[in-house]
A = this chain, B = another copy of it.
Amino acid sequence: MSISRREEVLHAAAELFAEQGFHAVGMRAIADAVGVRGSSLYHYFPSKVDLLHAIAVDSTRAFIESQLEDLNPSPDYASRVRKMMFDHVVYFHEHRMEEAVGLRELQELRKHKPEAYTELQTLRRTYQNELERLITEGRDKGEFSCEDPHITTLAILGMVNTINDWYRPHRDGPIEDIADIYSSLIVERMLGKTA
């Protein structure tokens, strides 16, 4: 099962954009990483910004959809939030290059592809709303003692989205362990899971 050249280009570009930033990476550098000439990239993407577009929107959509499709059938809210956060941490680690690009190059997309920027913001907002809804309903059901679901949601997302800034597998152990610690911190402590 070999991957297409187009996917090769996307992956190489994501890695370089994540490490150095969109403007620091030239089309020639991406081409070098794939083993072709700069002009060959234009066979797959009409411009450098379209490359960024594909990386940011595709990866964000894939993440949101995978997270929201099987909002698991667990009856209690605590289990549902716990699973959502655990999966979030693991997924963000496994796709850290693409997700870093999606988080950091927002303004570039806003400038050159406004409709792609809007789509990204809508996707993020959908995810944020879903988390806030789980927290609010869980609190109304008496499962949580959380005081401010909105701000707490933003705090949680800030926490989990910055793990990749410090996490190094060899030094910090398996990502699943980190995901466990964060999930507990969120559900038991920040949300004050009762009983």
Contact = CB atoms under 8 A, between A and B. Distances in A.
Tell me how many chains of this kind the complex includes. 2
Interface string A98-118: 000000100110010000000
Interface stretch (A16-24, A36-44, A50-58, A72-80): A16-24
Given A181-B151, A189-B192, A190-B185, A108 B158 contact: no
User: Which of A22, A104, A190 has most B Cβ within 10 Å?
Assistant: A190
A65 interface: no
Interface in A143-161: 147-148, 151-152, 154-155, 157-161
A98 B24 CA distance: 20
A163 interface: yes
User: Which of A107, A159, A161 has most B Cβ within 10 Å?
Assistant: A159
B181 A148 contact: yes
Nearest to A167: B154
User: Which of A20, A24, A160 has most B Cβ within 10 Å?
Assistant: A24
A63 to B, nearest CB: 18
Contact of A21 (B107, B154, B165): B107
A178 interface: yes
Contacts of A192: 189
Given A155-B185, A161-B158, A162-B158, A21 B23 contact: yes
